[in-house]
Amino acid sequence: MSYRGFQKIKEWFIEKALFLSALFSVFITIGILSVLIFETLEFFKVVSIVDFLTDTQWTPLFSEKHFGILPLFAGTFVTTIIAMAVSLPVGVITAIYLSEYASNKVRIFIKPILEILAAVPTVVYGYFALLFVTPLLQKLIPDMSGFNSLAPGIVMGIMIIPIIASLSEDAMHAVPMSLREGALALGATRFQVALKVVLPAALSGIAASFILGISRAVGETMIVAIAAGQQPRLTLNPLVPIETVTAYIVQVSLGDTPTGTIEYSTIFAAGMSLFAVTFVLNIVSYWLKKRFREEYE
Amino acid sequence: MKRLVISLIAIFAVCMSAKLHAAPVIKIDGSSTVYPITEAVAEEFQKIEKGKTKVTVGISGTGGGFKKFCSGETDISDASRPIKPSEVDLCKKNSIEYIELPVAYDGLAVMINPKNNWVDYLTVKELKKMWEPAAQGKITKWNQIRANWPDKEMHLFGAGVDSGTFDYFTEAINGKGGASRGDFTASEDDNVLVQGIATDTLALGFFGVAYYEHNKDRLKLVPIDDENDTNGKGPILPEYENVVKGTYQPLARPIFIYVNKKSADKPEVKRFVEFYMKEGDKLSKEVGYIALPDKAYTLGLSRFEKRLAGSVFGGHGATVGVKIEDLLQKEGK
């Protein structure tokens, strides 16, 4: 065989190997999705989808069974709202500072620290919420339960700050210098430039980071499993024990629920609903990011 | 390269020899209520065996433990109630026979936060009102239990549905094992419940009294009145005397280990069970349980030596109101 022919075969193999690697994640996604869908269908053979979406009680492990997902989503909703209420303002303000005010020295110092925040294992955040933040809050609100959605929500917000800050900063950084220069030339202050020119111009990027943050909060497991309690409850009160969708899945996966039972199928139905929510959020975020790219390229 | 090969061979040889000399492992799983005793016994046993035998003790709850036990995954199962019909069937299906050995007596404690200053005692009726299935979503405030208690939310914590403690409590209070409201914080891990009650002034929960012993300063016991004067008048605390005399009813019960009959023939399991029966008395006291009279351990040992399979409770699951003397009588037969 000629040297050329050998090279060609080698190239062919390399290309196929690369292609297979890329395909791998696609297959995995399809695999996970089909398991989820298959098990969820099994679940809906027994429980009607109307009950699943409208019943206000979730007690599949007890002798009197109810399969309303609403209490679990209420838990997820409350913790997510609290997390976003913390991470959005702090994240965006941090981004404004880093992009518009900070000198290079400060930036080099602060950015890695922000990234460390993202590298803290979530189990550590969980215990931080349970054993530090909750007792602290109880000094202000004596009637607050040891398990509640407020403390894990706040801690989750802290965890999400780096995501929002770093993505928003990227978006602000991408705003053309000429826009800032124009505004400054018209006599605007630095603050006015940041708030009235850069922020609106980067809004789609910030919105994308916000939505990515939400989907991170919705899917977060360890913090809420440790610190929010294990009691599905249809409430918006952040001071009482609740259970999120993810924490429920953990609870059942850790217990000894036999495979093939309806109790076991519930985690797939819950997982599927969760997947649907984060999937939609990710699509919205992707769409927003694309819009934002088109504007300046 | 040569060095690499040599070191690989060395590592391989070490692994092989470790495998050849691997210590036999006794696998135990089940009730988190029985766990402290079994774990204490296991620790002492491993000390004596000097590494010859390893013992692993899990906490999947009595139900979870029996599921594993009856499919042959474990040698011994910790149980805070006698085996129940569905588990008897599962064991039979997999032709697993078991020897039932009572190891101690436990009071099931009802607990509140130390800052709770309104609950002085509870009657069995009040407990039922709190925990029965009909209470779900309806009985949510303290003043619904007694009118002069605060108009504040009640936060309930209890043993998980896979635990024998849950089965026993629901049988004793609600009259049917497993029947309970579902809107409370349920966990197989008693430490989660301790944490929940210790940090919440509006909380009430139940679990084995031994976990109270370890958290005395963070929890407060509630005396229980069964309104039956023949076994003690008025509200009664799960203290040593009351559990032994049988006046802390209906929330006192014997707890067990179940030994797989086939595993019982393994020398290390045999040694472990014999050690358990010999030291159970001392060690169960040490970890906060009420030891059985000596006679119960001797009877247990002789049942084990004779390899008497089956349950003296007939496989009906949680049995309420078994006093120590009843237990002795049953075991003696």
Are A61 and B187 inside 8 Å of each other by CB? no
Which of B136, B141, B183, B187 is the best substitution to test chain A (most A C-beta atoms within 10 A)? Answer: B183
Are B141 and B264 in the same domain?
Answer: no
In 3-state terms chain B splits into helix, strand, coil percentages (rounded to 5) of 45, 20, 40
CA angle B251, B131, B190 (to 5 degrees): 60
Are B140 and B173 in the same domain?
Answer: yes
Q: Are B33 and B164 in contact (CB under 8 A)?
A: yes
Question: In terms of residue numbers, what domain contains B90?
Answer: 22-104+253-332
pLDDT of residue B173: 92
DSSP conformation class of B23: P
DSSP conformation class of B32: T
Nearest to A143 among B178, B179, B201 (CB): B201
Are B199 and A256 inside 8 Å of each other by CB? no
> How many A×B Cβ pairs under 8 Å?
87
| Residue A209 CB partners (closer than 8 Å, separation 6+) | A91, A163, A164, A166, A167, A168, A171, A285
What's the average model confidence in pLDDT over A246-272?
84
pLDDT of residue B277: 92
User: Which residues in chain B are contacts of A240 at CB distance < 8 A?
Assistant: 153, 155
Is the pLDDT at A297 greater than 60, yes or no? Answer: no
Among B227, B245, B263, which residue terminates a domain? B245
Are B154 and B283 in the same domain?
Answer: no
Please check whether residue B151 touches A, CB under 8 A. Answer: no
pLDDT of residue B333: 66
Are B139 and B214 in the same domain?
Answer: yes
Identify which of B108, B51, B135 has the alpha carbon closest to the alpha carbon of residue B224: B108
Residue A164 CA to residue A139 CA, distance in Å, equals: 30
In a domain, B323, yes or no: yes
Place of tokens 């009279």: B293
Are B194 and B235 in the same domain?
Answer: yes
Are A231 and B188 inside 8 Å of each other by CB? no
Q: What's the residue count for chain A?
A: 297
Are A146 and B200 inside 8 Å of each other by CB? yes
User: Which residues in chain B are contacts of A62 at CB distance < 8 A?
Assistant: 133, 161, 178, 180-182
Residue B59 CA to residue B162 CA, distance in Å, equals: 10
User: Which residues in chain A are contacts of B199 at CB distance < 8 A?
Assistant: 134-135, 138, 145-147
In a domain, B223, yes or no: yes
Among B226, B245, B264, which residue terminates a domain? B245
Are B188 and A241 inside 8 Å of each other by CB? no
Q: Which amino acid is at B27?
A: K
DSSP string, B267-329: HHHHHHHHHHHHHHHHHHHHTT-BPPPHHHHHHHHHHHHTT--B-TTTT-S--TT--HHHHHH
Please check whether residue B218 touches A, CB under 8 A. Answer: no
Among B204, B223, B245, which residue terminates a domain? B245
Residue B172 CA to residue B217 CA, distance in Å, equals: 28
Q: Are A145 and A228 in contact (CB under 8 A)?
A: no
User: Which residues in chain B are contacts of A61 at CB distance < 8 A?
Assistant: 161, 182, 186
Residue of A nearest to B30 (CA): A256
In a domain, B135, yes or no: yes
The 3 state secondary structure assigned to chain A is CCHHHHHHHHHHHHHHHHHHHHHHHHHHHHHHHHHHHHHHHHHHHHCCHHHHHHCCCECCCCCCCCECCHHHHHHHHHHHHHHHHHHHHHHHHHHHHHHHHCCHHHHHHHHHHHHHHHHCCHHHHHHHHHHHHHHHHHHHCCCCCCCCCHHHHHHHHHHHHHHHHHHHHHHHHCCCHHHHHHHHHCCCCHHHHHHHHHHHHCHHHHHHHHHHHHHHHHHCCHHHHHHCCCCCCCCCCCCCCCCCHHHHHHHHHHCCCCCCCHHHHHHHHHHHHHHHHHHHHHHHHHHHHHHHHHHHC
User: Which residues in chain A are contacts of B180 at CB distance < 8 A?
Assistant: 62-63
Both tokens of A136, joined, read: 């602290």
Residue B209 CA to residue B221 CA, distance in Å, equals: 9
pTM above 0.80, yes or no: no
Residue of B nearest to A62 (CA): B182
| Residue B11 CB partners (closer than 8 Å, separation 6+) | none
Distance of CA A74 to CAs A80, A178, A248, B325, Å?
10, 46, 13, 51
Are A147 and B200 inside 8 Å of each other by CB? yes
Are B213 and B149 in the same domain?
Answer: yes
Q: What is the pLDDT along chain B (333 residues), one digit of tens a residue?
A: 556 556 656 555 555 555 545 788 999 999 888 999 999 999 999 999 888 899 999 888 888 899 899 989 999 999 988 998 889 999 999 999 999 999 998 888 999 999 999 999 999 999 999 999 888 888 999 999 999 999 998 999 998 887 888 988 998 999 888 888 888 888 878 888 998 899 899 999 998 888 888 889 999 999 999 888 777 788 998 888 888 778 888 888 889 999 999 999 999 999 999 999 999 888 988 888 888 888 888 888 888 988 888 888 877 777 887 777 777 777 776
User: Which residues in chain A are contacts of B66 at CB distance < 8 A?
Assistant: none
pLDDT one-digit tens code per residue, A33-42: 999 999 999 8
Are B49 and B68 in the same domain?
Answer: yes
Nearest to A256 among B60, B185, B192 (CB): B60
Distance in Å, alpha carbon of B102 to nearest chain A alpha carbon: 24
In a domain, B17, yes or no: no
Residue of A nearest to B134 (CA): A64
Both tokens of B149, joined, read: 């208690």
Number of H helices, E strands in chain B: 12, 11
Are B125 and B241 in the same domain?
Answer: yes
Distance of CA B195 to CAs A126, B113, B189, Å?
14, 10, 10
CATH number for the domain spanning B287: value is 3.40.190.10
In a domain, B9, yes or no: no
Residue A58 CA to residue A81 CA, distance in Å, equals: 22
Domains in chain B: how many in total?
Answer: 2
Residue B77 CA to residue A188 CA, distance in Å, equals: 76
Are B130 and B204 in the same domain?
Answer: yes
Residue B164 CA to residue B34 CA, distance in Å, equals: 10
Q: Are B78 and B34 in contact (CB under 8 A)?
A: yes
In a domain, B14, yes or no: no
Interface of A with B (CB under 8 A): 57-59, 61-64, 66, 130, 134-135, 138, 142-147, 229-233, 240-241, 254-256, 258
In a domain, B318, yes or no: yes
Are B152 and B211 in the same domain?
Answer: yes
Is the pLDDT at A51 greater than 60, yes or no? Answer: yes
User: Which residues in chain A are contacts of B197 at CB distance < 8 A?
Assistant: 146
Residue A72 CA to residue A53 CA, distance in Å, equals: 11
Are B198 and B159 in the same domain?
Answer: yes
Please check whether residue B199 touches A, CB under 8 A. Answer: yes
Residue B122 CA to residue B120 CA, distance in Å, equals: 7
| Residue A26 CB partners (closer than 8 Å, separation 6+) | none
| Residue A250 CB partners (closer than 8 Å, separation 6+) | A221, A225
Which of A148, A149, A231, A253 is the best substitution to test chain B (most B C-beta atoms within 10 A)? Answer: A231
In a domain, B1, yes or no: no
Nearest to A63 among B179, B184, B202 (CB): B179
Residue A205 CA to residue A208 CA, distance in Å, equals: 5
Decide: helix, strand or coil at residue B210.
helix
What's the average model confidence in pLDDT over A106-127?
89
User: Which residues in chain B are contacts of A230 at CB distance < 8 A?
Assistant: 185-187, 192
User: Which residues in chain B are contacts of A241 at CB distance < 8 A?
Assistant: 155, 185, 196, 200
Are B263 and B172 in the same domain?
Answer: no
